[in-house]
Amino acid sequence: MGVKLRERWGRQPVWARWALAVYLIGFLVGTRTHVLDVARDGVHAYAMFPQVPLQVFFVSLVVLDPLVIVLVGLARREGIWLAGAVMVLDMCGNWWGNRHWLHDDPSQLMRLVPLTIFGVFVVASVLPLHRAVAGMADKPETAVPSA
Q: What local confidence, expressed as pLDDT, does residue 143 receive?
A: 47
Q: Is residue 14 predicted with pLDDT exceeding 60?
A: yes
Tens of pLDDT along 93-108? Answer: 999 988 888 788 888 8
Residue 105: exposed, middle, or buried by beta-carbon count in 10 A (0-12, 13-18, 19+)? Answer: exposed
Tell whether the model's pLDDT for residue 17 goes beyond 90: yes
For the chain, the domain total comes to 1
Does some domain include residue 143?
A: no
Please answer whether residues 59 and 43 qualify as being in contact, where contact means their C-beta atoms are separated by less than 8 angstroms.
yes
What pLDDT shows up at residue 142?
52
Q: Do 84 and 126 contact (CB within 8 A), yes or no?
A: yes
Is there a domain that residue 146 lies in? no
Buried b (16+ CB within 10 A) or exposed e, 49-77: beeeebbebbbebbebbbbbbebbbebeb
DSSP tag of 144 = P
Average pLDDT over residues 23-37: 97
The whole-model pTM stands at 0.87
Q: 144: pLDDT confidence band, cut at 50, 70 and 90?
A: very low
Confidence of residue 1 (pLDDT cuts 50, 70, 90): low
- Check pLDDT > 50 for residue 29: yes
Q: Is residue 133 part of a domain?
A: yes
> Is residue 144 domain-resident?
no
Instruction: Answer whether residue 145 is part of any domain.
Output: no
Domain span at 70: 2-138
Q: Which helix (H) or strand (E) holds 120?
A: helix 113-138
The answer to whether residue 78 sits within a structural domain is yes
The alpha-helical segments, DSSP class H, found in 42-110 are 52-73, 77-97, 101-104
What's the CA gap between 18 and 15, in Å, rounded? 5
